[in-house]
Amino acid sequence: MTFITKDNFEESYSFDSKTLDSIHIKAVLVNKIIDSMKVGKYHYVESLLSNERYGKNKGKLINDLKRMDSIYGKVSSFNSFGYDVYKTKKQRNIIHISGFVKRGEQNHALSFYLDFQSEIPEILKLQGEL
């Protein structure tokens, strides 16, 4: 894949099919999460939150998300800005998928951090910004 900027700067990227398949799988997971948020099924989101990161605080995060529905309106869609795959200090591959959530009253940014290589659907970190 080659990108050409308006200044005629050319940059090429290549992706193997395994990497593209992994990206697709993680994007599908994010879409399922958003779909569950659209209909207020936050128990699905809660079931995916990392125990290591959120532990007993899962309920607080879910309550915050529900409260956002009542203040800013129901989730209607998620528009992805893109993704980045990086390696942590512990050599764990993480995919960061970022975008914005469209709501009835006010939209906001939302990022999902997922283990890129794991087949287990898990949200390592969910980060939002109003």
Assign 127 to helix, strand or coil.
strand
Which two structure tokens, joined as six digits, stand for 104?
Answer: 């009835």
Phi, psi (rounded to 5 degrees) for 31? -65, -40
Q: How far is CA 18 from CA 15, 21, 22, 124, in A?
A: 8, 5, 6, 22
pLDDT(16) > 90:
no
> What is the per-residue pLDDT for 68?
92
For the entire predicted model, the pTM comes to: 0.87
Label residue 12 by pLDDT band (50, 70, 90): confident
pLDDT in tens, 37-70: 999 999 999 999 999 999 999 999 999 999 999 9
Asked whether the beta carbons of 123 and 48 are under 8 A apart, the reply is: yes
What's the mean pLDDT in 3-29? 84
Topology, domain 19-129: Nuclear Transport Factor 2; Chain: A, (3.10.450)
Asked whether the beta carbons of 100 and 109 are under 8 A apart, the reply is: yes
Q: How many residues does the chain have?
A: 130
Neighbours of 22 (CB within 10 A): 19
pLDDT(87) > 80:
yes
